[in-house]
Amino acid sequence: MRLLLVEDEIDIQGFLGRSLQEAGYEVEVAPDAKTAEQLAVESRFDILVVDLGLPDRDGISLILRLRELGLKAPVLILSARRSVDDRVRGLEQGGDDYLTKPFALAELLARLRNLLKRNNPQPSEATRLRVLDLELDLLRREATRGGQTLQLTQQEFVLLEYLCRNAGRVVTRSMILDQVWGMRIQPDTNVVDVHIYRLRGKVDGAGQQPLIRTMRGVGYVFNDR
Amino acid sequence: MSLMTDKPRLRSAAWRISFLATIAFACGTLVIFVFLHQFVSNDIQRRSDAWLSGEVGVLGDVAGRTPRNALYRRVVGEIAELAAREVPNKSASAGSDNNSVFFLLTSADGLPQLWVGAGDGQSNLEAIKTTKFVPDKPTDVRVQGFPVPFRVACLQMGDGSHIYLGLSERDELRVLGKMRVRFLLLWLLVVLLGFGIVFLTTRRMLSHVRKITEAASKIGLSDLSERVPATHRNDEVSQLAHTLNRMLDRIESSMHQLHTITDALAHDLRSPLTAIRGKLEMSLAAMNGEETAEPIVSAIEELDQLTDFLNKSLDVAEARADALRLTVTEINLSRLLETMVDLYEPSMTEKGLHIRLSNEKGIIVLGDEGLVHRMIANLLDNELKHLVPPSTVSISLRSRDETADMVFEDDGNGFDPDVLEHLFIRRVKGKTSAGHGLGLAFADAVARAHGGTVEVVNRDVGGGRIAVSMPLAREKMRHQLVATAQAG
């Protein structure tokens, strides 16, 4: 996957470039809109990460210019601004995504994956999910582990489904709140942890391999190995 | 929908103004007419009186010089007939049966000697006998059998006999009557026309005022780019519009300045925060879950808290200046509260607290989803952090008239009385409270930005009570009522 990162802050360029490379992207970095335009014309990218505050031009007008030039790849917009511009909303409706700084790396990666998936939709949605010995029947809303049916509430099932779909990848608390509860909030209490703790109690029985792993300071990972 | 209710009020103002203007106009014209009427009627009477005096003088002269023989009767009679033909103000219809004039000659002892006129003159004589005459001054005489009085001039002859010349006021009254009818018709027409013109003009003017009001009320706290419509005419209404627009220009420019400052501040702080957070995450990943990673973990957590604090501070600052930018959508508050309670219930239970929700269904408000979510999460976080177990948090949501009332009650220790007064001021918090002291200020800021209020009190029975009130999405409510009515 070829990714174009348009960001002028050296510090952010550095860690973001490296993290994205580690996540498997082939990253090209452009420090300003002019370079970005050149790079985008010269070669093809699968996805772009564009910061709104560029030194020579506004990020939005860069994106609109690239679209004029025939760019089809989805764009993840990064912004340190407080308000979301109407033009950003327009782009969001057009299939691009928006992330406010500062962000958790896991969230950035998840959004990139979603953007790529949205652009290449899978032909058919599976009705069953399987991670190791855990199986989810999405139609009957039933979860079994090692053949044993788990007694889950509806909310717990949705949470487990979200974790399974992202098995092997880090999900943050904000991502869980956003995707499972539909809320973009940052509680300074342990609300998500208690839900995970309860779910873990039902999924990871005594003597079984723990599936839900806490990554301190980052979030959670659902083990897939 | 307040715009809809404003409309009839303005209409009625147009009615009221045109009604009052019409009454004033009608009264004015009526007074003028009364004066005119008086003048005309006096003038007609003056002419009649002048004619009567002149004619009676001529008759007296003729009667005095004509010898009292057989011819006397004929000569005086003919002169009287001739005089009757020259009656002033005489209408054409009265031509044939001339009963508008009479001539009477009485002897010194009051007996009739000569009568010229309609009928036998008996009733005229009766009436004249009862009337007191002033020489040279015609007088009104009411004669039995005639609906209108006669104007009668009297002349005393040298031999003590009297000559009376009477002129019916019938023609005079008819002229005046015609004048009155014509005036009344014309007056009605003019008054109706005047009412119409005043009403239309007022309504047009007020409709412009209404447009200004509508536009002004649409210019919300968050969107100041709109302007009220202004016409090119240089009247008071367009001056009002221009003044309003100039005021909006000034407000928008200070708002813009505030936004520039907060945006710059946010940007300048967020960029380094992003870099720091990213680097911390990278080092954390490199450590691979070692024990030594603990300081990094807490650094990330503190960084996130700092970011949250920064966001809230700027939100509160902007809301205090009525400059919070909202992205308004419909929010189902009932469903939102259910989800929130589901989300917080496990943590509450874990801490030994109970949470109860008494929720009215289908309550919808218009608001910024992100801000409203954060406001409710904040209030619940507050309860979760500060309540001492075992306590119960009761949340209720009710719609009342035009507001959605959300009440958070607990049976804990309540708020510190010292800080209760200043709870909404940034950074005020209880001595025992953790956190930045922004929670309630933030809730207040969000409610304010949505045209609502937050009220914090200590309950009489102990514990705290936070009441958040936000305006309902009214048109939505109406749709719901229709839907329920149809379902029922």
Q: What is the CATH number of the domain that holds B37?
A: 3.40.1840.10
Task: Tell me if B456 is assigned to some domain.
Answer: yes
> Could you read off the pLDDT of B316-352 as tens digits, one per residue?
888 777 777 788 888 999 999 999 999 999 999 999 9
Residues of chain B contacting A195 with CB distance shorter than 8 Å? 343, 346
Interface contact A201, partner B, CB < 8 A? no
ipTM score of complex: 0.87
B287 and B363 belong to one structural domain: no
Residue from A5, A8, A15, A77 to probe the interface with B (highest B Cβ count within 10 Å):
A15
Chain A to chain B Cβ contacts (< 8 Å): 129
Neighboring chain A residues of B293 at a CB cutoff of 8 Å = 216-217
C-alpha to C-alpha distance for A190 and B348, rounded to whole angstroms: 10
Q: What is the mean pLDDT of residues B196-220?
A: 81
- Binned at pLDDT 50, 70 and 90, residue B4 comes out as very low
Do residue B407 and residue B359 come from a single domain?
yes
- Are B332 and B449 in a shared domain? yes
**CATH number of the domain to which A203 belongs:** 1.10.10.10
Which of the four pLDDT bands, split at 50, 70 and 90, describes residue B255?
Answer: confident
Same domain, A109 and A199: no
Last residue of a domain, one of A69, A89, A119: A119
**Which residue, of B289, B320, B351, is where some domain finishes?**
B320
Residues A27, A58: one domain? yes
Same domain, B243 and B312: yes
Q: Quote the minimal CA–CA distance from B10 to chain A in Å.
A: 36
Q: Does A98 contact B at CB distance below 8 Å?
A: no
A182 and A88 in a single domain? The answer is no
Which of A119, A137, A164 is the endpoint of a domain?
A119
**Of B125, B140, B175, the domain-final residue:** B175
pLDDT digits (tens, 9 = 90+) for A51-105: 988 888 888 899 999 999 988 899 999 988 777 777 777 777 777 888 888 998 8
A113 and A157 in a common domain: no
Chain A residues within an 8 Å CB radius of B271: 9, 12, 53, 80, 101
Work out whether strand B139-141 and strand B353-359 pair parallel, antiparallel, or are unpaired: unpaired
Q: Please tell me the distance from the alpha carbon of residue A103 to that of residue A122, in angstroms, as a whole number.
A: 28
In chain A, residues with a C-beta closer than 8 Å to the C-beta of B301 are 217
Q: Are strands A219-222 and A170-171 parallel, antiparallel or unpaired?
A: antiparallel
Where is average pLDDT lowest: A62-66, B74-78, B371-375?
B74-78
- A105 shares its domain with A30: yes
Whether B308 sits inside 8 A of A182 (CB atoms) is no
Domain enclosing residue A135, as ranges: 128-222
User: Is there a domain that residue B212 lies in?
Assistant: no
Looking at beta carbons, which residues of chain B come within 8 Å of A19? Answer: 278, 281-282
Q: 């003019």: which residue's tokens?
A: B190
A28, A105: one domain: yes
User: In this complex, do B305 and A188 lie within 8 Å of one another by their Cβ atoms?
Assistant: yes
- Asked whether residue B289 falls in the same domain as residue B365, the answer is no
Give a yes or no: residue B231 inside a domain: no
Are B421 and B406 in contact by the 8 Å Cβ rule? The answer is no
| Chain A nearest CA to B263, separation (Å) | 6
Cβ pair B278:A216 closer than 8 A: no
Domain count, chain B: 3
- Kindly state whether B377 is in contact with chain A, defined as any CB-CB distance less than 8 angstroms: yes
Question: Which residue did the predictor score with more confidence, B422 or B358?
Answer: B358
Q: Are A11 and A36 in contact (CB under 8 A)?
A: no
B130 pLDDT more than 60: yes
CB interface of B with A, residues 42-71, below 8 Å: none
For chain B, what is the largest distance between any 2 Cα atoms, rounded to a whole number of angstroms? 161
Type of residue numbered B396: S
* pTM, rounded to two decimals: 0.66
CATH number for A40: 3.40.50.2300
User: How does pLDDT run across A197-222, given as a tens digit for each residue?
Assistant: 999 999 988 888 899 998 887 889 99
Pairwise CA distance, residues A97 & A114, whole Å: 9
Residue B57 lies in a domain: yes
Residues A135 and A207 in one domain: yes
B22 and B155 housed in the same domain:
yes
A98: tokens are 């928006």
A6 and A115 co-located in one domain: yes
CA distance B18 to B202: 7
Task: Select the residue from B270, B373, B442 to test the A interface by mutation, using most A Cβ atoms within 10 A.
Answer: B270
B343 in the same domain as B282: no
Interchain contact, A82 vs B385, CB within 8 Å: no
CB contact under 8 A, A194 and B262: no
Interface of B with A in 284-343 (CB under 8 A): 284-285, 289, 293-294, 296-301, 303-305, 307-308, 311, 314, 325, 327, 339-340, 342-343
Rounded average pLDDT over B369-380 = 91
User: Residue A171: CB partners within 8 Å, gap ≥ 6?
Assistant: A106, A110, A162, A163, A219, A220, A221, A222
Q: HSE-up of B199 (CA within 13 Å, CB side)?
A: 13
Of B272, B350, B369, the CB nearest to A194: B350
Check A19 against B282: CB less than 8 A apart: yes
Nearest by CB to residue A16, choosing from B263, B266, B278, is B278
Examine residue B207 and state whether it is found in any structural domain, yes or no. Answer: no
Q: Domain boundary residue among A119, A136, A162?
A: A119
Rounded CA Rg of chain B? 48
| Same domain for A110 and A27 | yes
| Chain B residue at shortest CA distance from A153 | B342
CA angle B1, B4, B6 (to 5 degrees): 110
Q: What is the CATH number of the domain that holds B404?
A: 3.30.565.10
Are residue A22 and residue A66 in the same domain, yes or no? yes
* Range of A163-172, B145-154, B161-170 with top mean pLDDT: A163-172
* Cβ under 8 Å to A: B residues 222-261: 259
| B290 HSE (CA, 13 A, CB side) | 10
B217 assigned to some structural domain = no
Q: Is A210 on the interface with B (CB under 8 A)?
A: no
Q: For A44-65, what is each residue's pLDDT tens digit?
A: 999 999 998 888 888 889 999 9
φ/ψ of B392, rounded to 5, equals -125, 135
Q: Is A101 on the interface with B (CB under 8 A)?
A: yes
For chain B, say whether A69 makes contact (Cβ under 8 Å).
Answer: no
> Looking at the structure, do residues A110 and A6 belong to the same domain, yes or no?
yes
Q: Which DSSP category does B97 fall into? A: S
Checking if the pLDDT of A192 tops 80, the result is yes
Which residues 430-449 on chain B approach chain A with CB closer than 8 angstroms? 435
Q: Which residues of A touch B285 (CB under 8 A)?
A: 22
Degrees to nearest 5, angle at CA B293 with B289 and B298: 120
pLDDT average, residue stretch B176-201: 90
Query: B354 and B300 in one domain?
Result: no
Number of domains in chain A: 2
Do B438 and B461 sit in the same domain of this protein? yes
Cα–Cα distances in angstroms (integers) from residue A152 to residues A18, A144, A158, in the given order: 40, 10, 10
Chain B CB within 8 Å of residue A82 CB = yes
| Residue at token pair 């409270």 | B433
Is B205 among the domain residues? no
Query: Å from A176 to nearest chain B CA?
Result: 11
Q: Which two tokens stand for residue B280?
A: 């911390």
Residues with Cβ < 8 Å from B31, sequence gap 6 or more? Answer: none
Residue B385 in contact with partner chain A when CB distance is under 8 A: yes
pLDDT tens-digit series, residues B268-303: 888 899 999 999 988 888 877 666 778 888 898 889
> Whole domain around residue B67: which residue ranges?
2-175
Domain boundary among B147, B175, B203: B175
pLDDT over threshold 80, residue B73: no
- Judging contacts by C-beta atoms under 8 Å, the chain B residues touching residue A155 are 342
